[in-house]
Chains A and B, each alone.
Chain A
């Protein structure tokens, strides 16, 4: 019997639904064998608002991916995003129990359990429990076992969301008779793909600007320091253009893609662009500066909100690797400059690692590729050391096992 399994990474976004089918063999080797993309419907700001329509779109993408892969999907790893998600940090500490102050596996398990045992509001479910480094008598240590100290501390970044809205996303996949085996926060997935271990150790901020939501993740010392999701993204920019220029939403989207900028470059108010550009009836000229001004204002506001949400967690000095911009919104010209201005750090567009094939290097696949990367890596990085048996019987067993 083959040891490989067919897994689909699925992102149900506001603008599109992306599916990648991968064959995972020997637990960690990934081979992407199928792609499916469909325009998203029934999803608003990352939340399913029309189940039937969302199902149709998602199932279309799943079926396309299955057909292209030529295999049957066995399980799904689902990217989770949306303004309904929230997170908090909780930490706990314990006194080291042994008489010689040596940290044991039991101490580690106890402090981890305590740090995770924070009650959530009713109707909310945990999505991630991301551990930060242990601290033994105030010093950060990756693995405190067998070290000497009096006080062991650890903290967890706990991501949670309303159970009903998480269920909606899961049931969209379930409607295709598939089971969701992993749920991965979209920002973690993107950050996992676009940053290297070195960058995460230096400190890096990843901002994924999609159509309906903006996800961000801040790394420091190789660990996740904060994550978040804003219900503001490219669609709002389009909306502002539509209102400000009195054009339709589709025309505003076209103008954004053609002339939108995150910073104002045009200085001449007389510089104008055609609305449709096809010289058709009703086509008219619009001031280019107005387009850039509206887009830049909204983009700057978006970036400012991200910075504000990060609060004290963001310290420019601790973010040596700068800001990485991802998602469809990152295609907006001048965004790096705007981000540099807001965060006071160098910013660049995220580039997938070299192993990603050319046809998958489009930003729309960053999250689903990241789902694979995070899913395959996380089990090893964030795993809590297993609780070991202690006591007389266990010691006797060990004694006989050795002899």
Chain B
């Protein structure tokens, strides 16, 4: 970021709600079906059809509001009027001045907090494909519209302009995604369009200055694009101002391949959406009991789950910062239940976190399905020295592939028996005898030399025992011999 400038960023995130059916009709809410197969008179906006609000969608929207610490309030629906072919009624039913959720906030892992102005419900549009000719909107021979997405429930989450860097914007989107998944509202699949981000970006020289003129960047479909687009746009605005020009308020499109934002090709029209109260729906007034029931049905949010894991680390006397990345990974991937189960069974938090954030996380989907009992049994074997780390990782791969199983049986089938103490002592003694020069240096050397040679001897012993020896036991025996 150019020194002497501050970024001011507000994000609008559209999130598709994970309901079985659409917002105002009974059509399946499914991604990727045959075009126009999940449609009916209502979501096609046929004459005479009327919307009926989906109760489950309201509950998921309330869950989002609860997770974002919003007030859940009596709300209404409005019509937002504009002509567009993928808009079946040529108006969108959306919440306007009375949103369901308002005045919330989202705490980020870096300790900052971003205010959430509102999280309101609305319906998604269909999808237009331009075909023939150039294949783009200008110069296409014809256009096709798929209304399968028409009427899919959305929550639009509007942040206050509280974000001050592209990094913080990325953190906000990542944390929001985690919250939406944890609240059960969304599958969080940004690449499939389940979450779509628009960024309002402006720059100013000092936090005391008023906000600069902002541009809205559309089409941000990954956390990475959010960061890149904001960086690019801020630099563009700074260059303009520094060269004596002005930023023009406009909507810009993020071109992922070119890595730049571009003013939308069509000349900016000043839309007048002529919002008015939707006469086909009645006010949505959730009572306290319903709000409480939704809150009680929700699991803990990522921030609370991270705190729980950090607390485990703290009990061991370890600095929590040392495990912060592992904690974040485990919570992001929703694997905290594995860690908690292992620790409850007596496994050291450090081992449980490390195995989960590294080896289990490598195949997070399989890990999510893994039988926690087998996982706990495996980590207990490793923790008590019955399996080496190398052996445990190998067994884990098999358990993940099978979705569970008895780790002892897998270890036995692979010939991973634990070496008896006698054989270990013999093996160490043999290797020491075969390398007298190195051994002399090990015994005489300082800490650095000893560390290097410990690696040498451990490697030799592992080779000799075909990996059956436990690294920690080998190390202890070397120290004993050296006296």
| A pairs with B | no
